[in-house]
Amino acid sequence: MSTSPSTSSQAHGLAREAARLTLTKRAEDVVILDLRSLQGVCDYFVIATGHSEVQVRAIADAVDEGMAALGHKPWHTEGYEARRWILLDYVDVVVHVFHAKAREYYLLDKLWGDAGRELVTD
């Protein structure tokens, strides 16, 4: 996605806020992938891990509610039924909340291995 510097800065801020919100539900291995130079589907991925289906749902709900409070509604969501990989698409930022086993299986981090990485911790 081609964005101007101010829009890119806004997208990065949105990604950082989404990552922070995942941590409110004790998400682990939270990373922001910078896809801007890779001609990806968006500017940033936020990837987080939960260790149960209940936790995966709670993490996704925390992101959804926190972003809505800031005026950002997802354009598209997937995975709420199975709760193994929930995707929240905010157009420039896509949040992926994985169950630990699903994250190991899909290896999204490795698939986008050329992307810049920012680890996010408390």
Mean pLDDT computed over 60-83? 95
CA nearest neighbour of 80 among 47, 105, 108, 58: 58
- In this prediction, residue 114 carries a pLDDT of 86
The three-class DSSP label of residue 45 is: strand
The three-class DSSP label of residue 41 is: coil
The three-class DSSP label of residue 100 is: helix
- In this prediction, residue 83 carries a pLDDT of 86
Predicted TM-score (pTM) of the model is 0.91
pLDDT at 86 over 90: yes
Mean pLDDT computed over 45-60? 97
Query: Which CATH entry fits the domain spanning 5-120: 3.30.460.10, 3.30.70.20, 3.90.1150.10, 2.60.130.10?
Result: 3.30.460.10
- In this prediction, residue 41 carries a pLDDT of 81
3-52 confidence digits (pLDDT tens): 444 476 899 999 999 999 999 999 999 999 999 988 768 999 999 999 99
Cα distances from 25 to residues 19, 73, 115, in angstroms, run: 11, 20, 26
* Greater pLDDT, 108 or 95: 95
Residue 54 burial by Cβ neighbours in a 10 Å radius (0-12, 13-18, 19+): exposed
pLDDT at 122 over 50: yes
**Domain segments of the chain: what residues?**
5-120
